[in-house]
Amino acid sequence: MGEPWALTPVSGQPLARLNSFGIGGAAGLFCQPTTRDELARLFEIIQTHQAPWFIIGKGTNLICKEEDFEGVLIRLAGEFEQVRFAGPMVTVGAGLTDTKLAVKARNQGLKGAEFLVTIPGSLGGAVFQNAGAHGLEMADLIESVECFEPNKGFFRLQKSEMALGYRCSRFQESGELVLFGKLRLEPGDKTQIQAHEKALLAQRKETQIWAHTFGSIFKNPKGQSAWALIDQAGLRGKQLGQVRISPKHANFAENLGGGRSRDLIELIKLVQSEVFKQTGFSLVLEAQQFPPE
């Protein structure tokens, strides 16, 4: 791009290494800012060159297409993976995994975050999606966030400003980056917290797959379960190429080895069409596609 970068970028980064489904092309440049200053400098350069950019978390709910992304792919690291405790208040970097957050909270004797052990993503992605499981969601914990927007800089938002709803938030439309979240937890007994986490993990292992998977694929229609509708349409285990609807959980897809994004996208369209035809319900995709259309 012509001038020195604040960071040392990786060129031609394979996207398959950055998402749980193991598919995708390559990113023009891949950068991992570790501080607010590095992030701000990075965006100064991006804007100078009018380069497209995209921020990625752990890639657990992202459909990476085979086409290359001729822009800057960003993953938050360093201070954005840290956590600080102040009584029941927890400040968490957007790059920290949900599982690590749950474990760190338990080690501090704080309960309320146990459900996060079953969500294989990062704090930033969890806020972005208002992720949830086992009857709880991020909206039940979050108090405020620190954000960054290229033309605005750093700023804070309170929970009431985030437009949190079922698997949605303002960040899905605003282009604002979530950098840190402040959560409110409750004091609890470490042994009981750990027992709760083990029970949730056991339930997940019994009902969901772990490796080379993508999901949940669809949001649950109001009053319905997406997996049950897919099951009702006879699509559990349905396969295109090396991609199939999981026989273990019908709202997850599996990469059987060498799966392609086009097969995943076609399978998603097939499921949506058949479920609507047989049940009358429209299934809405929960994930993002990358590069964006």
pLDDT digits 0-9 by tens, 168-211: 999 999 989 999 999 999 999 999 999 999 999 998 888 777 66
Residues 120, 187, single domain; the answer is yes
The verdict on 41 and 86 lying in the same domain is no
> Reduced to 3 states, what is the DSSP secondary structure of residue 12?
strand
Query: Is residue 121 in a domain?
Result: yes
Distance CA 106, CA 24 (A): 36
- What's the pLDDT band for 7 if we cut at 50, 70, 90? low
86 shares its domain with 146? yes
Domain boundary among 78, 94, 125: 78
Among 29, 50, 78, identify where a domain stops: 78
> Is residue 4 in a domain?
no
pLDDT at 167 over 90: yes
CATH of the domain at 232: 3.90.78.10
pTM over 0.85: yes
94 vs 125: CA distance, rounded Å? 8
Q: Is residue 198 part of a domain?
A: no
- Whether residue 28 contacts residue 260, with contact meaning beta carbons closer than 8 Å, is answered with no
Q: H-helix or E-strand containing 181?
A: strand 177-184
pLDDT of residue 1: 40
- Say whether both 89 and 57 belong to one domain: no
Question: Do both 154 and 90 map to the same domain?
Answer: yes
Selecting among 167, 169, 261, 274, the annotated active-site residue is 167
What is the total count of domains within the chain? Answer: 3
Statement: residue 5 has pLDDT above 60: no
For 167, residues 6+ apart whose C-beta sits below 8 A from its C-beta are 129, 130, 131, 132, 219, 286
**Residues 278 and 215 both lie in one domain:** yes
> Is 81 one of the annotated active-site residues of the chain?
no
Residue 83 sits in the same domain as residue 183: yes
Catalytic annotation present for 216: yes
Q: Are residues 37 and 51 in the same domain?
A: yes
239-240: strand order across its sheet? 213-215, 252-255, 243-245, 239-240
Per annotation, catalytic residue among 20, 216, 246, 261: 216
Catalytic, out of 176, 197, 274, 286: 286
Q: Which of 157, 192, 227 is the last residue of a domain?
A: 192
Let me know whether 33 and 122 are in one domain: no
Same domain, 33 and 126: no
Known catalytic residue at 17: no
Torsion angles phi and psi, residue 49, rounded to 5: -95, 0
Which residue range forms the structural domain that includes residue 169? 79-192
Q: Determine the 3-state secondary structure of 31 from DSSP.
A: strand
Whether residues 184 and 231 share a domain: the answer is no
CATH number for the domain harbouring residue 160? 3.30.465.10
Q: Are residues 54 and 135 in the same domain?
A: no
Structural domain contains residue 15? yes
Q: Report yes or no on 204 lying in a domain.
A: no
pLDDT tens figures, 45-54 = 999 999 999 9
